[in-house]
Structure 1
Amino acid sequence: MKRNWELDELIEHFTILPNEMKLVENKTGETRIGFAVLFKFFQNEARFPTNKFEVPKAVIAYIAKQIFSDPELYAKYDWTGRSITYHRTQIREFFGFREDTIEDAQEMTEWLCQHVLYHDHDIEHLKEHVYSRFRELKIVPPTPDRIERLIRSAIHTYEENFFQNTYQKLPSSTLAKLDSLIDSIAYLETDDEEVSGEENGQLSFHELKADPGRAGLESVLKEINKLRMIRNLELCLTGTLTEEMI
């Protein structure tokens, strides 16, 4: 949740409506303010705060004013007792959400692999996708640590599947040439000095993936040599593969 809120934003997002106030009225003291803050936070974020200090003071103060409570009481709200567990249950049921399961994590991994990871591997972007998906499914998301582990697991699964599918689509002649190319990454040495693969009639894997460098006749000729070598690998024979890689 963002830290700074304008008054019109507080009014729009944190005003307690009459039907919502009924859930607050039978509570007192720190329980009253604690529940109200949890409720409105969940309504906006579709998750519970990871800790009580995640909620901005301006939000707490605005909510406290509506329920005639002292905002300072929020700091005394028990974050680990039975009351907060019951409050979370009340809030989940009010909004029609349920707790997450192991199966949900597995389905989220599959969803990421099928719909997101083919074009985006940025962790922060993926977190936004995951939280949005959980909200859409009306599932309370797991803790931030578990979310990150889920995302990294999904990335690993996606990459393993991609590499395996790529390998299976490559013809045997291409695999043999790739093996030869990768073997050439070990530089030939003469009198403790490295000799480039190009001087020996073959580019090493390191040279093939190197940056073209400053534009000039020599660099152009090197890039032409790289293109010839890549064409010789016959990767273009696997149309489906090259389309997926693009």
Structure 2
Amino acid sequence: MRAFTGFRECGVEDAEKAAEWLSGDVCLSERRADRVRAALLAHLKDERIEPPAKQRLQRIVGSALDQSEKALTLRVWSRVSDDVAERMFTLIERRGEDGAETEDRD
């Protein structure tokens, strides 16, 4: 059937490339897993790759969302000055386990 339709099985490299594509192109503007999944299925169809099983699709989507979130976090963090970062860490250190500030107030 694959020979007739021109589709091929989704290999590990295909899944990794799809996750990278999703992370860089789709997940920048879309964070809902169902919509990311729809974009993935459309992309696989365009690339003539047979969609993998449901659980593998979920893993690819999850990986892409995770990659995108990490990239965004790094992008934002790179814009924080050293002075601001130091003040943030100082505030974090002052927090107790229950989330309340432990610093003495007058």
Q: Which of the five TM-score ranges fits, normalised by the shorter chain?
A: 0.7 to 0.9
Residue identity opposite 2:17 in structure 1: E
TM-score, normalization by structure 1: 0.38
The aligned residue for residue 114 of structure 1 is 24
* Cα separation, 1, equivalents of 2:91 and 2:30: 29
CA deviation after TM superposition for structure 1 residue 143, in Å:
0.5
Counterpart in 2 of 1:138? 48
Alignment counterpart, residue 101 of structure 1, candidates 2, 8, 11: 11
Which residue of 1 is the match for residue 90 of structure 2?
Answer: 180
Match of 2:62 in 1: 152
**Using CA pairs below 8 Å that are at least 6 residues apart, which structure has the higher relative contact order?**
2
Consecutive unaligned residues in structure 2, runs of 5 or more: none
CA distance in 1: counterparts of 2:69 and 2:58, whole angstroms = 17
TM-score under structure 2 length normalisation: 0.82
Which residue number corresponds to residue 171 of structure 1? Answer: 81
Given residue 128 of structure 1, which amino acid in structure 2 is its aligned partner? A
Letter in 2 for 1:170: V
Residue 94 and residue 125 in structure 1: after superposition, are their counterparts in 2 closer, same or farther (change >3 A)?
A: same
Contact 2:95 2:101 in 1 (8 A): no
Task: Report which of the two has the higher share of strand.
Answer: 1
Cα deviation 1:89-121 (Å, max 9, x = unaligned): xx2222211111111111111111111111212
- Aligned letter for 2:44? F
1:182 to partner: Cα distance: 2.5
Secondary structure in 2 aligned to 1:120?
A: coil
RMSD: 2.0
Distance 1:154 1:171 in 2: 28
**SS across alignment from 1:141:** coil
2:19 and 2:63 in contact (8 A); partners too = yes
Q: Counterpart of 2:37?
A: 127
Taking the aligned partners of 1:92 and 1:155, their CA distance within structure 2 comes to 30
| Amino acid in the other structure paired with 1:153 | S
Q: Among the aligned pairs, what percent are the same residue?
A: 23
Do 2:7 and 2:48's aligned partners in 1 also have CA atoms closer than 8 Å?
A: yes
Q: Which amino acid aligns with 1:148?
A: Q
Q: What secondary structure sits across from 1:98 in the alignment? A: coil
Unaligned runs of 5+ in 1: 1-90, 190-196, 202-246
What is the letter of the counterpart of residue 93 of structure 1? A
Match of 1:139, SS state, is coil
